[in-house]
Amino acid sequence: MSKIRAAITAVEGYLPDYVLTNEELSQMMDTSDEWIMTRIGIRERRMLKEEGKATSDMAAIAVQNLLKNNNIAPEEIDGVICCTVTPDMHFPATASIVADKCGIHGGMSMDMNVGCSGFIYGLKTASLYVESGFCKKLLLIGAEKMTSAVDYQDRATAPIFGDGAAVVLLEPTEEEVGVMDAILCSDGVGRKHLHMKAGGSLKPASHETVDAREHFVYQEGQAVFKWAVSKMVSVSDEIMKRNGLNADSIKYLLPHQANIRIINAVGHHMNLPEEKVLVNIEKYGNTTSATIPLLMWENQHKFKKGDNLILTSFGAGFSWGAIYVKWAI
Ligand code: UT7
């Protein structure tokens, strides 16, 4: 019997309408379009502005469109995994809120919080559920309302992040396509460089934590930058080597969109020409768990069945990884 693999058989995405430009940010803080474009490569990002709307609302629109466009009934879905660092609430899982909003009831649902590596970790985890036969139609979501976690008084982090959501459907296949290989890594020593100080069990919310602005992303950019380049390069190298891939046989690299300089460094190290490195950071900024599935959604028309794709990411934890996917549709 041939091996069962997990294939990505559909992709959808959602971006909120409101465009937060560098010009608007420059009116809020001491920054400029020139600085943000040169140092990060972001011109604008999306913002979910409507009162009472959360991460699950963006994810639910993406899921509803996926179901509708592929004629799938909610009852057919037997698993929902939502990768996010900006859940609607501490609990319950945002995945179960999304499922409910989409009429999906009774199956497995859970969140994964692995910072910007959420989707990479989620894809490997989801593929194991599918390969084992535990799930037949599993939705893997990357969704973030990062603007709810950003301090608009902190010019070092505010320009980076944006909101968005995307979802992929995973199904079993006996063909030589789907999730082919994965490397997932982490090192908790990096936690001091990238975290949220308060709101967890270590430092529950209080007047003091709010006054000290501790409920926002805290990032020491330079340390994260150095680790991100070095780890994304080494893990991409390793996954290429052990699968006999090279710059010619890779069709596209889908790197996490944190900084154009990191993306270029990874693409350069892999000897990939510019057109093989997918980029949308200029339009959407860093949407954390959503960057890679959003890239997939926007570029799927370019992919052909059997194309070799490499996905790679680095984020809080520290966590990083790379996945080799053979496109299935
Ligand atoms: O997705 C999760 C993983 N995250 C990442 O991969 C992010 C990795 N880090 C980065 O992308 C970059 O480190 C940042 C974009 C966060 C910062 O860029 P940088 O080139 O490392 O800048 P820096 O923090 O070293 O700051 C350089 C200068 C400083 O001024 P002085 O001390 O040289 O006078 C900052 O105060 O730029 C200043 N600066 C700004 N100036 C204008 C910092 N932010 C801004 C700003 N506008 N928004």
In the chain, where the domains are located: 5-176, 180-326
Of residues 189, 188, 169, the one with CA closest to residue 126: 169
The shares of helix, strand and coil residues in the chain, as percent rounded to the nearest 5, are 40, 25, 35
The single residue of 83, 135, 193, 256 carrying the catalytic annotation is 256
Half-sphere exposure of 173 (CA within 13 A, CB side): 18
Predicted pLDDT of residue 1: 67
Residue 284 phi/psi, 5-degree rounding, is -120, -5
Per residue in 239-276, pLDDT (tens digit) is 999 999 999 999 999 999 999 999 999 999 999 999 99
Question: Alpha helices of 70-157 — where are they, by DSSP H?
Answer: 94-101, 118-131
Cβ atoms 173, 7 nearer than 8 A: yes
Predicted pLDDT of residue 232: 97
Cβ atoms 321, 312 nearer than 8 A: yes
Pick the CATH number of 5-176 from 3.10.20.30, 1.20.1260.10, 3.40.50.300, 3.40.47.10: 3.40.47.10
Give helix 291-299 / helix 118-131 axis angle, nearest 10°: 70
pTM above 0.75, yes or no: yes
Q: Comparing 5-176 with 180-326, is the CATH topology the same? A: yes
pLDDT < 50 stretches in the chain: none
Cβ atoms 249, 240 nearer than 8 A: no
Q: How many CB atoms lie within 10 A of CB 92?
A: 14
- Can you read off the two tokens belonging to residue 144? 């973030």
Q: How far apart are CA 192 and CA 218, in angstroms?
A: 9
Q: What is the fold of 180-326?
A: Peroxisomal Thiolase; Chain A, domain 1 (3.40.47)
Predicted pLDDT of residue 2: 84
List, chain by chain if needed, residues with CB within 6 Å of any ligand 1 atom. Answer: 31, 35-36, 39-40, 116, 155-156, 159, 221-222, 224-225, 228, 258-259, 262, 286, 314-315
Per residue in 289-314, pLDDT (tens digit) is 999 999 999 999 999 999 999 999 99
For residue 256, the ligand 1 atom closest to its alpha carbon is 1
Q: How far apart are CA 188 and CA 166, in angstroms?
A: 27
